[in-house]
Structure 1
Amino acid sequence: MKDAPTVYLDHAATTPMTDVAIEALTARLREVGNASSLHASGRRARRIVEESRETIAQALNCRPGEVVFTSGGTEADNLAVKGLHWSRRATDPRRLRFLASAVEHHAVLDPLEWLEEHEGAAVNLLPVDSLGRLSVDALRAAVELEPASVAAITVMWANNEVGTLQPIDEVVALAAEHGIPVHTDAVQAIGSVPVDFAASGVDALSVSGHKVGGPQGVGALVVRREVDLTALLHGGGQERDVRSGTLDVPAIAGFAAAVELAVKQQADHAARLTVLRDRLVVAVRREVPDVVLNGDLDNRLPGNVHLGFPGCEGDSLLMLLDARGIECSTGSACSAGVPQPSHVLLAMGRNPEDARSSLRFSLGHTSTDADIEAVAAAIAPCVERARAARA
Structure 2
Amino acid sequence: MTEDTTSKRYYLDHASTSPLRPEAVTALESWATSGPFGDPSRVHYNGFEVRAKIETAREAVASLTGVKSRQVVFTSGGTEAISQATFGALAKNPGGSVVAAGVEHSAVRHAAINFGELFNSRLVEAIVDDKGRIEPESIKDAIEMETKSGRSVALVNCQWANHEVGTLQDIEAIASICNSHQVPLHVDAVSAIGHVPIDLKEAGIDALSISAHKIGGPPGVGALILGRSSRYPPLIRGGDQERARRAGMENVPGIISFGAVAQVLSSPGWIEAQSQQSRRQTEEIISSLTSDESVIFYGDRKNRVPHIACFGIEGVEAEPILLGLDKFGISCHSGSACSSEALEPSPVLNAMGVEPDHSLRFSVGWSTTDEDIKVLLDKFPVVLKRLRELVS
**Pairwise same-fold verdict (TM > 0.5):** yes
1:371/1:349 CA distance change after superposition, 3 Å: same
CA displacement, residues 82-132 of structure 1 (integer Å, 9 cap, x when unaligned): 11111233xxxxx52111121111111111111233431111121100100
SS of residue paired to 2:88 = helix
TM-score under structure 1 length normalisation: 0.93
Deviation string 1:49-70 (CA, Å, 9 cap, x unpaired) is 1111112112211011100000
* Contact preservation (8 Å) 1:190, 1:263: no
How many Å separate the matches in 2 of 1:338 and 1:52?
A: 37
Distance 1:338 1:35, change over 3 A: closer
Cα deviation code 1:150-202 (max 9, x no counterpart) = 10111010000000001111111001111111110101111111111111110
1:377 and 2:381 are equivalent in the alignment: no
Q: 1:332 to 1:40 in 2, by over 3 A?
A: closer
CA distance in 2, matches of 1:203, 1:332: 27
Q: Distance in 1 between matches of 2:90 and 2:137?
A: 23
Find out whether 1:346 has 2:347 as its counterpart. Answer: no
Deviates more, 1:328-337 or 1:372-381: 328-337
* Cα separation, 1, equivalents of 2:68 and 2:180: 24
54-63 or 141-150, larger mean C-alpha shift: 141-150
Which of 265, 269, 287 is 1:282 aligned to? 287
Q: Give 1:84's match in structure 2, choosing from 89, 106, 128.
A: 89
Cα distance in 2 for residues equivalent to 1:368 and 1:336 = 25
> Cα deviation per residue 1:259-298 (whole Å; 9 max; x = unaligned)?
2212431000001111111111122233x33210000010
Assess if the C-alpha contact under 8 Å between 1:190 and 1:262 holds in 2: no
Following TM superposition, by how much is the alpha carbon of 1:381 offset from its aligned partner in structure 2, in angstroms? 2.1
- Cα distance in 2, alignment partners of residues 234 and 87 from structure 1: 16
- Report the CA distance between 1:316 and its aligned residue: 1.5
Counterpart position of 1:366:
367
Match of 2:128? 128
Corresponding position: 1:297 with 2:301: yes
2:321 corresponds to: 317
TM-score calculated relative to the size of structure 2: 0.93
Question: Offset at 1:386?
Answer: 3.2
Deviations 1:136-160 (A, max 9, x none): 1211111112446110111010000
Tell me how far apart the structure 2 counterparts of residues 384 and 159 of structure 1 sit (CA, whole Å): 30
Report what 2:186 is aligned to.
183
Counterpart contact for 2:335–2:344, Cα < 8 Å? no
- Alignment partner of 1:223 is 2:226: yes
Q: Tell me how far apart the structure 2 counterparts of residues 332 and 384 of structure 1 sit (CA, whole Å).
A: 25
2:51 alignment partner in structure 1: 46
Check conservation: 1:333, 1:340, Cα contact below 8 A: no
1:204–1:269 distance in 2 versus 1, CA, 3 Å = same
Judge which range, 156-165 or 218-227, deviates more: 218-227
Indicate the residue corresponding to 1:200 in structure 2: 203
User: What is residue 164 of structure 1 aligned with on the other side?
Assistant: 167
Distance 2:254 2:118 in 1: 34
- How far apart, in 2, do the equivalents of 1:7 and 1:190 lie? 23
CA distance in 2, matches of 1:146, 1:122: 10
The one-letter code sitting in structure 2 at the alignment partner of 1:282 is S
Deviation at 1:19, TM superposition (A): 1.1
1:273 corresponds to: 278
Paired amino acid for 2:366 = H
- Cα displacement (A) at 1:384: 2.6
Asked if 1:56 is matched to 2:61, the reply is: yes
Structure 1 residues 339 and 60, CA gap change in structure 2 (3 angstroms): closer
Contact 1:313/1:386 (CA < 8 Å) preserved in 2? Answer: no
The answer (yes or no) to whether the contact 1:33–1:41 under 8 Å persists in 2 is: yes
- 1:337 deviation in Å? 8.2
Q: How does 1:80-159 map to 2 (within 5 A)?
A: 80-89=85-94, 95-147=95-147, 149-159=152-162
TM-superposed deviation, 1:336: 12
Cα offset, 1:339, TM superposition: 4.1
- Counterpart in the other structure of 1:68: 73
Range 22-31 or range 67-76, more displaced: 22-31
Offset at 1:317?
0.9
Long gaps (5+) in structure 2: none
Provide the secondary structure at the position in 1 that maps to 2:373: helix
Look up the equivalent residue of 1:317 and give its one-letter code: I
- Read off the aligned partner of 1:377 and give its amino acid letter: D
Corresponding residue SS for 2:159: coil
Give the structure 2 partner of residue 386 of structure 1.
387
CA distance in 1, matches of 2:97, 2:387: 44
Task: Give SS of 1:24's match.
Answer: helix
Inter-partner Cα distance in structure 2 for 1:141 and 1:335: 31
User: Which residue in the other structure is 1:20 paired with?
Assistant: 23
Give the match for residue 92 of structure 1: none
Cα deviation for residue 240 of structure 1 reads 2.1
Partner AA of 2:231 in structure 1? D
Amino acid aligned to 1:132: G
SS at match of 1:360: strand
Alpha-carbon offset, residue 71 of structure 1: 0.5
Write the distance in 2 (CA, Å) between the matches of 1:117 and 1:234. Answer: 20
Taking only the aligned residue pairs, the percentage that are identical comes to: 36
Amino acid in structure 2 at the alignment position of 1:245: G
The DSSP-based 3-state class of the residue aligned with 1:29 is helix
Matched positions, count = 381
